[in-house]
Amino acid sequence: MVTSAPTAPVLDDTGHAAAERLTRGSWFRLVGAAIVLWLGLSAIGIALWRGLARSAIVQADVRVSKWFVPRRTPTFDPLTHYGTLLSETITAIALTAVLVVVFRLWLGRWRESIAVLVAIMGELFVFLLVTNTVGRPRPPVPRLDQAPPTSSFPSGHTAAAVALYGCLALVVLRQMANRWLAHVIATLCCLVPVIVATSRVYRGMHYLTDVMFGAIGGGLWLLVTVLVVLPPATYGRGAARRAVEARQP
């Protein structure tokens, strides 16, 4: 009986496995997930802004926002400003551009770079859809920043922090050989959304539920990105090793 050799993976014109490319179906799944996330978050936001306006949940929201006002200090005011800057639009764009280049040079492929782009651009797309659908006003407290034209729900800063820094943490944990350094970087990345969310509530820019559902939305979109763009079966050094072994006689 003749035993056939393992079939080598299909390579594209650059020599990378075909799994490195996103298929049309992958993009359809991303768009579909974005629409579902938009509808789900919009329903929650409208319920908070319209249907539950006098509920205990919203009243607690208001109390939390007002609690921070007399506790503002000359020390925390600038610190929370810098906390907000961690996921400001210009920061997110600059960091994304850097990570796209770094991941490509470091790992020698585009998969992780594409994941970062999908994570932040998809989050922004969903955020703009939700905020324009809901239209929730900002908290009724003095604000330390100029309010953008978008609504209070959800917190785009928090969502961006979860999606972008969460993606960075995941790639570092999966790919960095120095495990101690990888865990330090990942821990710092996980702290960023907490700092951003607290800063936004402190500065009167969002309700507590705004940052909570901003974090949930950013986290769900990051999960979608990982499942579609970075599936475990085609990701990481393990897959590369299996591909090399498959080509050996």
pLDDT reported for residue 21? 61
Q: Estimate to the nearest angstrom the gap between the alpha carbon of 125 and the chain centroid.
A: 12
Residue 237 lies in a domain: no
Tell which wins on pLDDT, 25 or 105: 105
**Chain segment 189-242, per-residue pLDDT in tens:** 999 999 999 999 999 999 999 999 999 999 999 999 999 998 765 444 444 444
In a domain, 214, yes or no: yes
Q: Residue 19: inside a domain, yes or no?
A: no
Give the domain extent around 88: 79-228
Please say whether the beta carbons of 185 and 172 come within 8 A: yes
Q: Do residues 141 and 101 lie in contact, with contact meaning Cβ atoms separated by under 8 Å? A: no
Residue 204 domain-assigned? Answer: yes
- Longest distance between any two alpha carbons in the chain, whole Å: 83
Query: pLDDT tens-digit profile of 128-165?
Result: 999 999 989 999 999 998 877 778 999 999 999 999 99
Domains: count for the chain: 1
Kindly state whether residue 45 falls inside one of the protein's structural domains: no
Q: Is 43 a member of any domain?
A: no
**pTM listed for this prediction:** 0.83
206: in domain: yes
The answer to whether position 140 is within a domain reads: yes
